[in-house]
Amino acid sequence: MEFYFDAGQAGGKNLLLLHGTGGDEHSLVDIARFLDGSCRILSFRGEVEEEGMNRFFKRNGLNQFDLDSLEAETDHLYEEIKRLSAEKGVAEADWVLVGYSNGANIGLHLLLERQTKLSGGIFFHPMSLGVHTNQAPLRDKRVWLSHGSGDPIVSQGAFDELVTPLEQRGAAVTLFNSQQGHAITMPELNSARAWLYTPNT
């Protein structure tokens, strides 16, 4: 997979970036540096193309997901994460995933449906993909999620359907709710940054 890497500075957070539809490996870099100016960055470009736009897995229309593509691309992404973690000398558990929309969806699918050492992350405007096959505990996961009641893509129901299994399986879940749409807003960024620096309990 195409990716961008920045070693950052000593003591910085390790942020693993997953862009939204139409983005690339550079789309969330400024957001990462807002979250932590010293951060190490590993940012991927989705390999699925939809009408010239990069995505992490196929869909057959708005919110109509190709589940075969989802599973294959999730496995591929995880293999790349493991490979580059070893290459760059970063423990898998030390990454904080930072995903937006399509990238948030595949990042959370990875946490929910695969056995990984990944510890969690920040997810802007994710939704349930309707897959609930893994029931393993998530007590070692910590996630921050945002949703806007004015979001034309992510309904309240689709967001709630994502939150419920995270909470039921023991993940530490922090929610940011607003009346905004699908775009990332400054109040969200400030909340996510505060969460990033909150010690694990």
For tokens 């029931």, name the residue. 135
Is 101 one of the annotated active-site residues of the chain?
A: yes
Separation of alpha carbons 157 and 10, rounded Å:
41
Among candidate residues 101, 119, 128, 191, the one labeled active-site is 101
Alpha-helical runs (H) found in the chain:
29-35, 67-88, 102-113, 156-168, 186-196
Is 140 one of the annotated active-site residues of the chain?
A: no
Among candidate residues 36, 128, 151, 191, the one labeled active-site is 151
Separation of alpha carbons 78 and 13, rounded Å:
20
Of 38, 30, 31, nearest in space to 13 by CA: 38
Among candidate residues 76, 94, 178, 182, the one labeled active-site is 182
Residue 28: what residue type? L
Separation of alpha carbons 174 and 172, rounded Å:
7
Is 182 one of the annotated active-site residues of the chain?
A: yes
Determine what percent of the chain falls in helix, strand and coil, rounding each to the nearest 5. 35, 25, 45
Separation of alpha carbons 150 and 73, rounded Å:
30
Rounded to 5 degrees, φ, ψ at 60 are: -110, 25
- The residue count for the chain: 201
Would you name the residues annotated as active-site residues?
101, 151, 182
